[in-house]
Amino acid sequence: MIGLCQILSFGNLFYQTSKMKRLLPLCLCTLLCVSAFSQQKMDFESYNPVSTLVVPEHKLTRSKFPFIDIHNHQFNMPTMDLGTLVTEMDKLNMAIMVNLSGQSGDNIVKSVNNIKTNYPTRFFVFANVDWTGVGSPGWGDKAAKQLEEDVKNGARGLKVYKNLGFSVKDVDGKRVKVDDPRLNPVWQKCAELKIPVLIHTADPRSFWDPIDDKNERWLELVTHPNRKRGPDNPVPFEDLILEQQNMFRANPKTPFIAAHFGWLPNDLERLSKLLDQMPNVNVEFGAVIAELGRQPKMARKFFEKYQDRILFGKDSWVPEEYATYFRVLETDDEYFPYHKKYHAFWRMYGLGLPDNILKKVYYDNAARLLKIGK
Query: Does 12 map to a domain?
Result: no
**What is residue 230's predicted lDDT score, i.e. its pLDDT?**
94
pLDDT tens digits, 273-298: 999 999 999 999 999 999 999 999 99
pLDDT of the residue at 70: 98
pLDDT tens, residue by residue, 126-169? 999 999 999 999 999 999 999 999 999 999 999 999 999 999 99
Domain count, the chain: 1
Does 18 reside within a domain?
no
Residue 5 lies in a domain: no
The CATH number linked to 161 is 3.20.20.140
Q: Mean pLDDT over residues 102-114, rounded?
A: 98
Residue 45: inside a domain, yes or no? no
pLDDT digit string (tens) for 319-370?
Answer: 999 999 999 999 999 999 999 989 999 999 999 999 999 999 999 999 999 9
Is 37 among the domain residues? Answer: no
| Within a domain: 139 | yes
Q: What is the domain range of residue 181?
A: 67-370
- 4 in a structural domain: no
Confidence of residue 42 (pLDDT cuts 50, 70, 90): confident
61 occurs within a structural domain: no
CB 291 within 8 A of CB 266: yes
pLDDT tens digits along 190-226: 999 999 999 999 999 999 999 999 999 999 999 999 9
Rounded to two decimals, what is the model's pTM?
0.88
